[in-house]
Each structure stands twice: as structure tokens, then as C-alpha cells.
Amino acid sequence: MMSATLASARAMVLLVSPGVAGDPPPIRFEDVTASSGIDFTSTSGVDPSTQIVEVKGGGVALIDSDQDGDFDLFFPNGATLAGPNCGPGARLYENLGSMKFRDATAASGLDHHAWSFGSAVGDVDSDGFDDLYVACLGPDRFYRGLGDGRFVDATEQAGFGRDRDFSTSAALADFDGDGDLDLYVTNYLEFDPLHPVPVAHFRGIGVIGGPRGLVPQPDRLHRNDGGLFTDVSEVSGIRTATASFGLNALAADFTGDGRVDLFVGNDSMPNFLLENMGGLKFREIGQRAGCAATIDGASQASMGLALGDVNADRRPDVLVTVFSDDTNTLFASGKPGFFDDASSRYGVGVPSRSFCGWAAAFADLDHDADEDLFVVNGHVYPEATAERMNSEYRQPKLLMRRDGARFVTVADESQPWLSQPRRDRSAVFADLDHDGDIDAVVTGLNESVQVLANRHDAIDDWVEVSLDDLKTAGNRRGVGARIELTCDGRVQTRWVHGGGPFQSNQSSVAHFGIGAPAAEVDPPISITVTWPDGETTTETATRGRAMRIRRLPAAINSGG
């Protein structure tokens, strides 16, 4: 039953009234979990949780494991303190189309039972197939994709497996501009399963201890040389940043200099903005840039990260989801090289106050040519109630529709999935059934996976763009590229970036809603890709079509 707090919060939100002339189309998802073929409940220690390692939950990753052109789903899985390396195991689900999936774990070779959190997907060895990096409690694992749904454990061969970190998320991107994907791994804190953390107190209640008072672990950066990785954490300069409780990272060009930087979300400590100085050297500029903390200079418990272009200036903005009794923060790009805390301006802060937010994404869910916001929530303390902490343990999702200059919370009683309280943690957002809209897959803490199919009705009010960069064979999907759609004088911008919503990854397919044609003569739609090396390609798009833009080594289609 929904608490009074949440009920009152929902009472003030927008009620969707579908079908009203002039209104934007409603955002409508259907929970298709039961028919999806995915029947998977993640494991994360005991339930209810007793230790900080148990509250992050497992992640989810989009991966085309069998080269059939759609996204399959990989779920890292947790374990228990009694057997942190002997969990029930990760799962791989093959996408069969039409929101149907099949458990393909057994034949995949992914015999992975270590306590795991996030993962990163990319073709790191330039063989054309997706590979998989899994962030674990203890040594991370790397699985080389064979392109036919099978993987081989290549952890040691790729130069991994020596760490003993509590790794949470990972982001692949070409940080040194050499054409292959390097790897950034966020690490959380020192945790020894044999020596659990004592109970702490929060507002007079005994709760799970940490992260404060525990020892943060510094993150890691690995340089890729043809599929062999070298830990360059020290020499790269990322360690000049204070070791923090890292939970998430996004890799994109945040400073506008053409190089891929890193936005790192830290728990209870300032966020990092690691500026790429070239030559695989970084410097931490989060404080200076204004994205380390809120407008009040307050550090937050940053968890989820969403990248979008909220202020339509063609530069990336970042939404950070945070703990309850605090508000999600939107760091909008302002003066070049600087971010503004624009949470109030766009209305994304206050509605999140009673939630403990995790994965988040900007996506045009109703195809009205602007990006909406989807956030999954759930508290970390099993003791949480509205009466004790103004926040329930199980929480509904926060769905916000872009309505002019601001975001407005969507409530729709005809969509039970929206108000269903859960302990959500991670999510991926992608067009899983090739019908032109963005679907969602959500994981929770000791919860069943939830599969949400976007039921947007229109068939020609979207464009999808994927990249195939043959000029740099090690980054064919163009991580670091900017994709701009221009239609009727309006420009929408997307980025193919590393990292993801939370312990998950971003779809490499850029999705644009473009609305119904406003005139009898449909305005032309052009797509301009700014590749990671700065070269541009411009092509014409067609409504209701997915297109692939390929760059050849000779750059025969450069222009724009």
C-alpha cells in the first residue's frame, strides 16, 4: 500500500489525459515481464539487507551477443556473505524479438558466480564482437565475445583479474584517441566479507553501516592496446582525485574539446569531472566546473547518472540521482567548461525528495521531440518508513515528462507498473523490439527483473541512428560520438557514451522522437554525426526508420 507521503506526492502530479486534442501523446508502458520469458530474481546477500555490500543490487547490460542486430540482456548477479564467489550466477537472455527472451546462459559459457554489480560492453579486441567486463567484489572478470552467443573467460589474458576492489560500475571509451576502447572502473570501498561492518545509527535507528566511516577505494583506469589492458591509474592522473566512494561513471566530451572526459558519481562525496588533457592524462575539475556538488556546495550520495541535452545547447547535461530527503540534481552545461545546478529551473529536484534514486535516463518516451526522464527508486535501509525517514523501503518509479521548459511528474493509474513499490536499482533503456520506441528493463534488490514495453502508438514519429565506424575498427559503435538530428529548424542532440544509468550501460543506438509532421510537406530530416575524432558525416533520415551511418577508412562520406 502506498504511504501517505508518497500518496500526497503523487496527488500533486500531472494526471495524464490521453486523447485530448493538442496534448502530447501519453507515455505508456506495459509490464510484459510475465510473457517476456525473463523469470529472474537477483540475489544480493540476505533479505533484508544487513551489510552495505548487499544494498547495491545487481546491474543489467545491453549486449548483442549473437550478432543478430538486437540487444540481448546480461544480468550480473550477487551472492551472499557466506559465499561471495559462489552466488547463483549471472544470466544471459537472448532477445527473440517482440519482447520475448530466452535464457541462454547455459550455452553462453558465462559461468560467472562472483558477487557482481555493473558491467561494460564493447568490442575491445576489435574482432567485431561485443565483449563483456563485469565489476565484482574482488577480482573483476572479462569475457571475450565470440559473436555467436558464446563467451570465453579471458580475464587474465586481457590483463585483468589482479584487483581486489569492490567495483561497482565500468565505462568503456576511447580515452587516448587511438581507436580502441579503454576502461574506467569505479570502486566503492574497502569491504571484507569476513569482517562485516557494525550497525550504525541513522535518526536514532540502527541501520546498515557506511559508507561514511569506511575506507573509500580509488577508481581504476585501464589502457587498451589491441585487447591487452594496462592499469594506468597512477600515471594518468586520475588518482590525484581524492579516493571516493565511486558508484557510477559516464564517459563523454563534457568540456567541449573533442576528448572524452569522465563524470564520476560518488556516494556521499563530491563528484569528479575528470578532464581529459590528452595523452591519457586527466585532471579533476569537478569543483571548478560546478558539478562536484549542489548549488549550496553540498556533496550528495550520487548513484544514478543520466546524460541528455536538457537545455538544448548541444552540450551534455547530467542528472544525478541521490539519497532520500535530498533532491536529484541536474547539472546543466552553462558557460563553456562550467555546469549550473539547474534542478529548480527544470523542476527535476523537488519531486524526487521522498525517493532514494538509482538508475536514470533521459529518453524521448512520447516522441514529442524532447527527452523525458525515467528514474528507478528504492531505499537502502529495510527500516525505512515514511514515518521514520520520510521515505519507504519499497518505492515507485519517478517518470517525468518534459512539458515545455520543465519536467512534470507523470501519474497514470491505468499503468500499475508506475506506482508499484519496488526496490529498484539498475535499468537499461533501448528499443528492444525494434518498434521505434524506447523500452526499459529494470532490476531490483532481491527483486524480479521487470520488463516494460513502450506502447507508443505512432509508427513514423521517430528516427534511430546507429554508427559503424570502420575507420577505427576498435570503436565501431562510435563511443564518444555526438549525433544531431535537425528537423524543421530544430536540433536534437544525443551522445554515444560510455557508462550508463547505474551499474548498466547505454544503448549505442541514438533514438529521436520527432512528433507528427506539422505540415503537409514533411520537412527533411538530417543527421549529423561528429565522430570521436571530430570528423563529421551528414546524412538524410527517413521518418519511422532506423538507419546505420557507416564511416569508411577513406572517410568518403565526410562532410556536413
Partner 1 sequence: MLVYRPILTVALLALAVTGLGCGGTGASAPNAEVTSAIASDQVVTAVVGHPNLPVAARLLRSGQFLDAEIVLRAILREAPDCARAKFLLGVAVLKQKRYAQARPLLDESLASRQEFADRVQVDHFLGWSCYYLGDLDAAKRAFQSHVGHVPSAADSYFGLGVIAIDEDRIADAQQALERSLELLPGTPEGARDRSKSLARLGDCALRLDKVEDALALYEEASQLWSDHYEVWGKLARVYELKERPADAEAAREKQQAALKRTGRVPEDAVP
Nearest Cα neighbor of 189 from 213, 172, 162 is: 213
516: Cβ–Cβ under 8 A, 6 or more apart, which residues?
458, 461
Q: Which of 295, 516, 518, 556 binds partner 1 (CB under 8 A)?
A: 295
Work out whether 164 is an interface residue with partner 1 (CB under 8 A): no
Work out whether 319 is an interface residue with partner 1 (CB under 8 A): no
Q: Which is nearer to partner 1, 32 or 55 (CB)?
A: 55
Work out whether 197 is an interface residue with partner 1 (CB under 8 A): yes
Work out whether 390 is an interface residue with partner 1 (CB under 8 A): yes
Residue 52 C-alpha cell reads as 552495505
Residue 45 C-alpha cell reads as 546477500
Q: Which of 122, 211, 216, 265 binds partner 1 (CB under 8 A)?
A: 211
Query: To the nearest whole angstrom, how small is the minimum distance from the Cβ of residue 319 to partner 1?
Result: 16
Nearest Cα neighbor of 255 from 295, 289, 305, 292 is: 289
Burial of 267 (0-12, 13-18, 19+ CB in 10 A): buried
Work out whether 224 is an interface residue with partner 1 (CB under 8 A): no
Work out whether 193 is an interface residue with partner 1 (CB under 8 A): no
Query: To the nearest whole angstrom, how small is the minimum distance from the Cβ of residue 198 to partner 1?
Result: 5
The conformation of residue 179, written as its DSSP 8-state character, comes to S
Q: Which of 190, 257, 340, 460 binds partner 1 (CB under 8 A)?
A: 340
Work out whether 312 is an interface residue with partner 1 (CB under 8 A): no
Nearest Cα neighbor of 43 from 59, 60, 57, 61 is: 57
Work out whether 15 is an interface residue with partner 1 (CB under 8 A): no
417/414 Cα distance (integer angstroms): 9
Work out whether 297 is an interface residue with partner 1 (CB under 8 A): yes
- The DSSP string of 448-478 is B-EEEEE----SSSEEEEEEEESSSTBTTT-
Work out whether 3 is an interface residue with partner 1 (CB under 8 A): yes
Q: Which of 9, 63, 322, 467 binds partner 1 (CB under 8 A)?
A: 9
Q: Which of residues 341-380 bind partner 1 (CB under 8 A)?
A: 344-347, 349-354
Q: Is-contact 59 401, C-beta < 8 A?
A: no
Work out whether 95 is an interface residue with partner 1 (CB under 8 A): no
Work out whether 335 is an interface residue with partner 1 (CB under 8 A): yes
Buried/exposed 519-552: b ≥16 CB within 10 Å, e otherwise: eeeeeebebbbbbbbebbbebebebeebeebebe
Q: Which of 29, 71, 101, 323 binds partner 1 (CB under 8 A)?
A: 323
Q: Which of 5, 157, 486, 526 binds partner 1 (CB under 8 A)?
A: 5
Q: Which of residues 404-433 bind partner 1 (CB under 8 A)?
A: 405-406
Q: Calculate the dihedral angle through the C-alpha atoms of 278, 280, 285, 286, rounding to the nearest 10 degrees.
A: 130
C-alpha distances in Å from residue 295, one per residue of 292, 304, 339, 348, 519: 10, 19, 10, 14, 43
Work out whether 214 is an interface residue with partner 1 (CB under 8 A): yes
489: Cβ–Cβ under 8 A, 6 or more apart, which residues?
none
Q: Which of 15, 106, 199, 459 binds partner 1 (CB under 8 A)?
A: 199
Q: Which of 162, 164, 212, 545 binds partner 1 (CB under 8 A)?
A: 212
Work out whether 557 is an interface residue with partner 1 (CB under 8 A): no
Which residues would be at the binding site for partner 1 (CB under 8 A)?
A: 3-5, 8-9, 11-12, 197-204, 207-214, 268, 287-290, 293-298, 301, 323, 325, 335, 338, 340, 344-347, 349-354, 386-390, 405-406
